[in-house]
Amino acid sequence: EQCFGSERSLSALVRSLVGLDRTAAKEAFARFLDQQHYGSQQIRFIEMIIDRLTACGVMDPGLLYEPPFTAVHQDGIDGLFNDGDADAIIGTIREINERAA
């Protein structure tokens, strides 16, 4: 159920089975992978989001406050990013989820 969730549309089911294309996921989060603006822990956190989306295709933003994300920072996304960046990251996840619906 972590990847598949509950009732979903056919496109969401297919995405959950095959995942999101890694290149597409990296493009969606490209601005957060810039080493000149973000630290190694922040980039690692974004790479974990990309890994999750690549594996599952969609992602509940609430997972950003749970392991394994809290292994990077105990407060999850809020401990690593300012409010604006955190909102943008969550917004990107929601956009990806909506496209799969």
CB atoms within 10 A of CB 31: 13
Q: What is the pLDDT of residues 20-37, one digit of tens each?
A: 889 999 999 999 999 899
Asked if the structure places residue 58 within a domain, the reply is yes
Region label for 19, one of left (φ > 0), alpha (ψ between -120 and 50) or beta (otherwise)? left
Residue type at 75 in one-letter notation: D
Domain assignment of residue 55, given as a range: 10-100
Is a pLDDT exceeding 50 seen at residue 1? no
Whether residue 89 contacts residue 47, with contact meaning beta carbons closer than 8 Å, is answered with no
For residues 15 and 71, what is the distance between their CA atoms, to the nearest angstrom?
27
More confident residue, 60 or 14: 60
Q: What are the tokens at 38? A: 């973000």
99 in helix, strand or coil?
helix
Q: What is the pLDDT of residues 50-96, one digit of tens each?
A: 999 999 989 999 999 999 999 999 999 999 999 999 999 999 999 99
Asked if the structure places residue 2 within a domain, the reply is no
CA-based torsion, 4, 94, 19, 71: positive or negative: negative
Asked if the structure places residue 14 within a domain, the reply is yes
Asked if the structure places residue 66 within a domain, the reply is yes
Which of 100, 88, 90 is CA-nearest to residue 58? 100
Question: 15: pLDDT confidence band, cut at 50, 70 and 90?
Answer: low
Asked if the structure places residue 4 within a domain, the reply is no
